[in-house]
Structure 1
Amino acid sequence: MIEIKDLNDIVNIYNSNKLFLKSHIGKESITVNWVCDELDAMKKEGFYSCKVVQKNSNKIVGLIDFKVDKETYLSLLMINSNLKGQGIGTNIYKLLEMYIKSCNSNSLRIDIVTNYDKDVLNFWIKNGFKRIDNITLNWNEQVLPAVVMKKELF
């Protein structure tokens, strides 16, 4: 779980993903206060907000927000943009999938913003997700075109 001492690292991870920030919330950067508000909102909705720590360096390299249920909802999986392309996102996802299977979740859902980064959509397709529906998301007063993707786990 993300702790108060982790907030600056979480801010740095968000701020390293400039395209995400610009397309998803319409800002160039976020602050500790923004992260606190986001974490509080996620907690109120029943989501776990977890840090991802790299074993060899003991540094926080990412974050993940998810809500376990019969159909688990993955809200966010983000790594520091300087570490993309190293397989970290895939490893995080595989560990999440193992965990939610152990919680007897039958499927996993994620909503992918479609006008953001084609590599993101391809990442989830490579990990076995199927397109289900086109939707619009409202996040931080931004209206975003998105696609619902699901993966059956059993």
Structure 2
Amino acid sequence: MLFKSKGFYVDKLEKKDINKVVEVYNSNKHFLVSHTDEEQVTIEWILQELESMKEVGFFSCKIVERSSGKIIGVMDFKGGEETNLSLLMLQNDFKSKGFGILIYQALEGYAKSLKSKCIRVDVVTNYDKSVLDFWIKNGFIKFEELELNWTGKILPAVTMKKSL
């Protein structure tokens, strides 16, 4: 286990978790269409995504509800002087229930334990305004505009940072 908070813990993904990770992604059809032009991903797609994240030094993690042991989300991040959060995705049924803020706060605590000076997140700007609002509400400041290449699709985004 990497870190925990009230009601959940975050740990590195294992091969046995892949089917559940596919379910988490596929429960977020709006995200997938916006980011990949597809409504679903496959096990092969997830394995390729996990490998590409590993190659650039990111941890691919599962977010597990402690009471049920159920994987309720996924997270990709890399610690260091600047902790970089690449993905925080919850199973669609767990959105808008306060889990996102709890998970982020636990990540922030973990980043502080790693002696990170700030947290960085790149937010796609043409996807869902509530995502950008979430990060602003949690103390992030827009740093620069950029384009992300996610699985071959170019997405307008903004880098946001929060000092720790």
In structure 2, stretches of 5+ residues that fail to align are 1-11
Which contiguous aligned blocks of 4+ residues in structure 1 show a shift greater than 2 angstroms? none
One-letter code aligned to 1:7: I
Correspondence for 1:42 among 44, 47, 53: 53
Aligned to 1:3: 14
Aligned to 1:145: 156
One-letter code aligned to 1:134: E
Mapping of 1:57-136 within 5 angstroms? 57-136=68-147
One-letter code aligned to 1:94: Q
Deviation at 1:4, TM superposition (A): 1.0
Deviation at 1:63, TM superposition (A): 0.7
TM-score by length of structure 2 reads: 0.92
Mapped to 2, the partners of 1:5 and 1:113 lie a distance apart of 30
Aligned to 1:14: 25
One-letter code aligned to 1:49: S
One-letter code aligned to 1:59: K
How many residue pairs were aligned? 153
Over the matched positions of the two proteins, sequence identity in percent amounts to: 52
Aligned to 2:3: none
Mapped to 1, the partners of 2:54 and 2:161 lie a distance apart of 23
